């Protein structure tokens, strides 16, 4: 499903006409079906507010949000069908687990959608498989006895069990250990491809954004400050730093090499393998 936002405004304090403080301000974006989009910006820049417009937890006060065949504006009602299509993984999603068994927790969403028991079981099996959680051995365990990384996976599976077409992830790797983090990112990439999801990825971690997404929106003070493909956005190292953001590790390394006069190519973000090759070339003296 494609997502189109047209001049969306949202103010927290609607009645206060004097306040110029918008949660988000004049946001327009078009995201085609199957794309992976990153949203970056410092704390308080409006990322979360924007995110919550994507499944109508917030309704735009001005402008409209079109998600597939659903049009959401100020007066929209009956949003359940829309929420079916948009899976939302909040920060620290494991805080939402509440059932006695993993199976029941995963069943909560599909049940709310009114699926039959067979459909629910299939949805749960599918979601757990996608997150590499073993159905048979885990379904009757309590979600609270799992490790942090496993809990996170269960929480994400609980959203996937609703078979969304759009998945919105807010800092999905925050607070995980390095290995769980890497595993989860890889899983997310394969889930995205397998399910042909439209993916929104909100993060402070530029390396994660680079790894996962194709197109990036940079937010500041409730507006989209600039946008572009991953390569374009991360080459704007100065602009990003001005917005209190960082750049991927590879760009940082290239900057340092440039400072030492060893490199004068574009400050393009790249995977570590590619970076290693490049450094090897530089050291061998055939830099261009």
Partner 1 sequence: MIKDITIGQYIYKDSVVHKLDPRTKILASMFFMFGIFLINNISEYIFVLILSALTIIMSQIPVMKILKGLKPILPLMMITVIMNMFFTQGTVIFSWAFINITREGIYLAGFMGIRIFFLIIFTSLLTLTTSPITLTNGIEGLLTPLKRFKVPSHEIAMMMSIALRFIPTLIDETDKIMKAQKARGADFESGNIIKRTKSLVPILIPLFISAFTRADELAMAMEARGYRGDEGRTRFKELNYKTIDKIILLIFALILIFLIIRKIIL
Q: Tell me how far, at minimum, the Cβ of 162 lies from partner 1, in Å.
A: 7
Q: Tell me how far, at minimum, the Cβ of 168 lies from partner 1, in Å.
A: 9
Mask: binding to partner 1, 80-119, rule CB under 8 A, as x and -?
x--xx-xxx-x--x-xxxx---------xx--xx------
Out of 159, 188, 216, 257, the only residue in the binding site for partner 1 (CB under 8 A) is 159
Residue 143 or residue 248: which is nearer to partner 1 going by CB?
Answer: 143
- 282 touches partner 1 by CB under 8 A: no
- 225 touches partner 1 by CB under 8 A: no
Out of 8, 24, 162, 202, the only residue in the binding site for partner 1 (CB under 8 A) is 162
Question: What are the beta bridge partners of residue 66?
Answer: 4, 71
Q: Tell me how far, at minimum, the Cβ of 55 lies from partner 1, in Å.
A: 6
Look-up: residue for tokens 């006069």? 261
- 240 touches partner 1 by CB under 8 A: no
Mask: binding to partner 1, 12-51, rule CB under 8 A, as x and -?
----------------------------------------
Q: Tell me how far, at minimum, the Cβ of 152 lies from partner 1, in Å.
A: 13
Residue 162 or residue 206: which is nearer to partner 1 going by CB?
Answer: 162
Q: Tell me how far, at minimum, the Cβ of 147 lies from partner 1, in Å.
A: 16
**Half-sphere exposure of 269 toward its Cβ, with a 13 Å CA cutoff?**
22
- 173 touches partner 1 by CB under 8 A: no
Residues that bind partner 1 (CB under 8 A): 52, 55, 57, 80, 83-84, 86-88, 90, 93, 95-98, 108-109, 112-113, 144, 158-159, 162
């Amino acid at each position: 499903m494609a997502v189109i936002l047209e001049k969306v405004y949202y103010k927290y304090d609607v009645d206060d006409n004097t306040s110029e403080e918008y949660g988000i301000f004049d946001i327009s974006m078009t995201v085609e079906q199957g794309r992976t989009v990153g949203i970056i910006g410092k704390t308080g820049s409006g990322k979360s507010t924007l995110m919550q417009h994507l499944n109508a937890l917030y309704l735009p006060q001005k402008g409209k949000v079109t998600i597939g065949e659903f049009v959401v504006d100020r007066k929209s009602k009956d949003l359940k069908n829309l929420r079916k299509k948009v899976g939302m993984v909040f920060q620290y999603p494991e805080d939402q687990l509440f059932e006695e068994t993993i199976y029941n927790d995963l069943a909560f969403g599909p049940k709310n959608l009114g699926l039959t028991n067979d459909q629910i079981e299939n949805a749960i099996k599918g979601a757990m498989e996608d997150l590499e959680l073993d159905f048979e051995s885990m379904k009757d365990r309590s979600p609270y006895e799992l490790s942090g990384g496993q809990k996170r996976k269960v929480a994400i599976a609980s959203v996937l069990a609703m078979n969304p077409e759009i998945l919105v992830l807010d800092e999905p790797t925050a607070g995980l250990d390095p290995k769980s983090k890497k595993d989860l990112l890889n899983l997310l990439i394969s889930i995205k491809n397998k399910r042909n999801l439209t993916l929104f990825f909100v993060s402070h971690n530029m390396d994660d954004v680079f790894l996962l997404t194709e197109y990036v929106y940079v937010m500041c003070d409730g507006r989209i400050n600039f946008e572009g493909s991953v390569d374009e956005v991360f080459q704007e190292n100065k602009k990003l730093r001005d917005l209190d953001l960082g750049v991927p590790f590879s760009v940082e390394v290239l900057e340092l090499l440039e400072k030492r006069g060893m490199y004068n190519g574009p400050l393009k973000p790249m995977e570590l393998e590619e970076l290693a090759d490049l450094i090897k070339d530089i050291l061998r003296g055939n830099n261009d």
